[in-house]
């Protein structure tokens, strides 16, 4: 029966133990590899690397250095159970154990670090015993160094531990590089997203400038655009007028405050941005500091965060765009500030361009209104001149009414014109233009015409059917203007114009009809005076004819008496004087000498009768 070899059994047991240990280490290394490769975030990954390395080699402390961008120094990025928080410590290549490992690219080990002369000055007070420095190498590039420190044992790390640490470092280097690439990709994606967001904001603001009907619509569009990228429930636009030194808020939406009236710049945050021309993100701490320095004061309800950027054009700062929050869970960040800064110039140029467009449209509208007013005034003067000339020539009332109605309809395009006179508490139609239906008689207590005749006041009805007194002469009448005609302060008639759909009479039409009514009233007065004068002349002429006719017999009798008297009392044929007895004898004897002409001193002749 064969006997066993104790030495062989021991070697077999040692091999089994080594194999089991190796298996455990590889399993631990595999688990750690899975753990570190599942960490996409670089800071979290680095912390996991250091903690996993300490567990893998069963040491209490560790640190991780990363190569700085200059390639000549290391920065302690993560520490685990060190004597103090050493993050941020800088080591040059070749300085300390980590610096030498990074410089050589080889694993470095010290069995008693506290007594080692090559330790870095920052670690002079350390109490570490054995320390292992493993470079993180990726191909020919050193990414950093992992330091593993043990303050309990002074022996050296064995070859298996060093090999295991090297395997771990290779995995860690790959994980660090992947995390960096992922971080770079995420950063690039974030920057691209941010750039796309900014570009989209600018495009939408530019589009709003073209599609908004007016400034109010533009302000609402800007609010909606900003609200898509940040919390903007409380948003306002403040514009500054240097001519009046006033701040006006044409757009203001807020959960707690009301819009302020135009005011002078004071110590508000809006005034601060206007005064300094710098963007501002004021959280409670920043605002408290500004108040303490006298740079700002509380205006309105206190906000959690206030963000404002200046609206700057090429010439000057025209205002401020501001967003604020009142809830602790809704905060504004530096990214929001940068986004508003990027968009502020576009917003300022858009507002300025829209203001210029509105000013131009307002000027055009005012010009058109002035031109229309001038054209209307010209038409009014033409109408008044035409009516005045016609009324001056015409003295017949019927002709006057026809000329007036036709002139009003022709000059201004009024489609429905009529004129009524008051007779015995009734309005009698004199003439009309454009109507298909005649209303010859209107009681004075009916309709708009009757009301104007009763009150003597002109009427303008922009919606004729809304007035209960309206009498519908045409089914399509929209509006009406009616003015009284007065003679000696008494209403004698009314001029009425009405419009069909598509034309609404206004106060300008009322003023024109009032002016025209004065001329018509004067013409009616003049025509009536002329009619009265003509009737009076006719009566006088008839009375004179009657008096002449009645006086003829009396004249005949007087003539007969005169002839009889002449026979009884003869006259001198020459001088036609009654003859005396003596004279009568001379007449009978023909002794009366006929008159002769003799010259006067001035050359004229006089006639003298010889009869005395």
Residue from 444, 437, 438, 440 nearest 429 by CA? 440
**Do the strands 141-150 and 61-67 form a parallel or antiparallel pair, or are they unpaired?**
antiparallel
Please say whether the beta carbons of 320 and 311 come within 8 A. Answer: yes
Dist. CA 60–CA 149, nearest whole Å: 7
CA distance 332 to 334: 7
Comparing C-alpha atoms, which of 403, 374, 398 is closest to residue 386? 403
Residue 611 has what pLDDT? 45
| Residue 184, pLDDT above cutoff 90 | no
Share of the chain above pLDDT 70, in %: 83
The residues, ordered by sequence, that sit 6+ positions from 516 with a Cβ below 8 Å of its Cβ are 383, 384, 387, 404, 408, 483, 495
Give the torsion through C-alpha atoms of 567, 571, 572, 578, to 10 deg: 160
Least confident range from 254-268, 323-337, 437-451, 513-527: namely: 513-527
Residue range 215-250, pLDDT digits in tens: 888 889 888 888 888 898 999 999 999 899 999 999
Q: Which two tokens stand for residue 214?
A: 């007016």
- Which of left, alpha, beta for 157 (phi over 0: left; psi -120 to 50: alpha)? beta
pLDDT of residue 384: 66
Alpha helices in 58-158 (DSSP H): 96-104
pLDDT by residue (tens digit) across 290-349?
Answer: 999 999 898 888 999 999 999 988 878 999 999 999 988 889 999 889 888 888 888 888
pLDDT of 588 strictly over 80? no
Is residue 1 predicted with pLDDT exceeding 50? no
What stretches of 228-302 show up as alpha helix (H) in DSSP?
269-276, 284-292
What is the pLDDT at residue 4?
Answer: 55
Give, as one character, the DSSP assignment of residue 123: G
Phi, psi angles (nearest 5°) of residue 609: -90, 145
pLDDT at 273: 93
How far is the C-alpha of 605 from the C-alpha of 602, rounded, in Å?
A: 9
Per-residue pLDDT tens digits for 391-405: 666 667 788 788 888
Residue 234: Cβ-neighbour burial (10 angstroms; 0-12, 13-18, 19+): buried
Percent of the chain at pLDDT above 90? 21
**DSSP one-letter code for 214:** S
Per-residue pLDDT tens over the stretch 167-179: 778 777 877 887 7
Residues 513, 431: contact at Cβ < 8 Å?
no
Which of 169-173, 567-571, 584-588 shows the lowest per-residue confidence on average (mean pLDDT)?
Answer: 584-588
Q: Which of 79, 65, 29, 58 is CA-nearest to residue 176?
A: 65
212-361 to CATH, choices 3.30.450.40, 3.40.50.150, 3.20.20.80, 3.30.420.40: 3.30.450.40
pLDDT bracket for residue 279 (50, 70, 90): very high
Q: What does the mean pLDDT of the chain come to?
A: 81
What's the whole-number mean pLDDT along residues 448-468? 90
Helix or strand (DSSP H, E) at 389: helix 334-393
Name the pTM for this structure. 0.46
pLDDT tens readout for residues 85-139: 788 889 999 999 999 999 999 989 988 888 888 888 888 878 888 899 999 888 8
Residue 16 confidence class, pLDDT cut points 50, 70, 90: low
Buried-state track 341-359, b at ≥16 Cβ within 10 A, e below 16: ebbbbbbbbbbbebeeeee
At 160 the pLDDT is 77
| Reported confidence tier of residue 17, pLDDT bands at 50, 70, 90 | low
Residue that has been written with the tokens 């507002």 in this structure: 351
Residues 87, 606: Cα–Cα separation, whole Å: 157
Region 403-418: mean pLDDT is 82
At 156, the pLDDT band (50, 70, 90 cuts) reads confident
Can you say how many angstroms the Cα of residue 407 is from the centroid of all Cα atoms in its chain?
44
**Highest-scoring range by mean pLDDT, 469-478, 563-572, 583-592:** 469-478
Which CATH number applies to 394-590? Answer: 3.30.450.40
CATH of 10-185, one of 3.30.450.40, 3.10.110.10, 1.10.287.980, 3.40.50.620: 3.30.450.40
Structure tokens, 571: 């006259």
Predicted confidence at residue 612, as pLDDT, reads: 43
Beta strands in 60-110 (DSSP E): 61-67, 73-80, 90-92, 108-110
Give pLDDT tens digits for 45-60.
Answer: 788 778 888 887 888 8
What integer pLDDT is reported at residue 610 of this predicted model? Answer: 43
What phi and psi, each to the nearest 5 degrees, are found at residue 317?
-85, 120
Q: Same topology for domains 212-361 and 394-590, yes or no? A: yes
Residue 461 has pLDDT above 70, yes or no: yes
- Residue 598 in contact with residue 606, Cβ under 8 Å? yes
Cβ–Cβ < 8 Å for 221, 235:
no
Most confident of 20-24, 384-388, 437-441: 437-441
- Answer whether 470's CB lies under 8 Å from 461's CB: yes
- Break the chain into its structural domains and give their ranges: 10-185, 212-361, 394-590
* Mean pLDDT, range 504-511, rounded to an integer: 86
């Amino acid at each position: 029966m064969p006997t066993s070899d104790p030495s062989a059994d021991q070697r077999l047991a040692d091999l089994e133990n080594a194999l089991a240990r190796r298996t455990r280490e590889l399993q631990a290394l595999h688990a750690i590899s899975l753990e570190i490769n599942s960490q996409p975030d670089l800071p979290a990954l680095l912390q996991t690397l250091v903690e996993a390395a300490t567990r893998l080699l069963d040491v209490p402390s560790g640190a991780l250095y990363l190569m700085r961008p200059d390639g000549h120094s290391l920065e302690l990025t993560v520490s685990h159970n060190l004597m103090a928080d050493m993050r941020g410590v800088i080591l040059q290549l070749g300085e300390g154990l980590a610096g030498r490992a990074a410089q050589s690219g080889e694993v470095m080990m010290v069995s008693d670090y506290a007594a080692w002369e090559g330790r870095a000055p920052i670690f002079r007070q350390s109490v570490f015993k054995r320390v292992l420095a493993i470079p993180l190498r990726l191909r020919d590039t050193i990414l950093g160094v992992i330091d593993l420190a043990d303050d309990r044992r002074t022996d050296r790390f064995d070859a298996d531990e060093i090999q295991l640490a090297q395997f771990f470092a290779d995995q860690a280097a790959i994980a660090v590089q992947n995390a960096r690439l992922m971080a770079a990709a995420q950063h690039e994606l974030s920057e691209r997203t941010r750039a796309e967001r900014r570009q989209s904001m600018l495009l939408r603001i530019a589009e709003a400038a073209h599609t908004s009907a007016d400034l109010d619509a533009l302000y609402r569009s800007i609010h909606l655009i900003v609200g898509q990228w940040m919390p903007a429930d409380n948003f306002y636009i403040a514009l500054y007028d240097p001519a009046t030194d006033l701040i006006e808020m044409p757009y203001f939406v807020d959960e707690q405050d009301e819009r302020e009236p135009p005011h002078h710049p004071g110590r508000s945050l809006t005034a601060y941005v206007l005064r300094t021309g710098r963007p501002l993100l004021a959280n409670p701490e920043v605002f408290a500091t500004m108040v303490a320095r006298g740079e700002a004061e509380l205006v309105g309800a206190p906000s959690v965060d206030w963000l404002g950027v200046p609206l700057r054009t090429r010439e000057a700062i025209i205002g401020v765009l501001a967003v604020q929050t009142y809830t602790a869970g809704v905060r504004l960040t530096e990214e929001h500030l940068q986004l508003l800064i990027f968009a502020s110039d576009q917003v300022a140029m858009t507002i300025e361009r829209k203001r210029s467009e509105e000013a131009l449209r307002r000027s055009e509208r005012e010009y058109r209104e002035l031109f229309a007013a001038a054209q209307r005034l010209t038409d009014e003067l033409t109408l008044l001149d035409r009516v005045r000339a016609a009324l001056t020539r015409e003295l017949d009332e019927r002709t006057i009414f026809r000329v007036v109605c036709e002139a009003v309809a022709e000059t201004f395009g009024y489609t429905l014109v009529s004129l009524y006179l008051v007779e015995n508490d009734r309005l009698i139609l004199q003439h009309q233009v454009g109507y298909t239906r005649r209303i010859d008689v209107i009681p004075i207590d009916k309709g708009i015409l009757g009301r104007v005749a009763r009150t003597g006041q002109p009427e303008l009805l922009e919606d004729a059917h809304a007035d209960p007194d309206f009498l519908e002469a045409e089914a399509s009448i929209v509006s009406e203007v009616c003015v009284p005609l007065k003679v000696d302060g008494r209403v004698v008639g009314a001029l009425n114009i009405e419009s069909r759909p598509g034309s609404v009479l206004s106060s300008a039409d009322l003023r024109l009809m009032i002016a025209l009514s004065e001329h018509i009233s004067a013409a009616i007065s003049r025509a009536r005076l002329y009619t009265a004068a003509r009737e009076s002349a006719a009566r006088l002429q008839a009375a004179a004819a009657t008096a002449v006719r009645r006086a003829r017999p009396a004249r005949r009798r007087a003539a007969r008496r005169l002839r009889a008297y002449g026979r009884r009392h003869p006259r001198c044929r020459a001088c036609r004087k009654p003859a005396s007895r003596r004279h009568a004898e001379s007449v009978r004897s023909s002794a009366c000498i006929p008159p002769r002409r003799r010259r006067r001193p001035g050359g004229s002749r006089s006639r003298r009768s010889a009869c005395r």
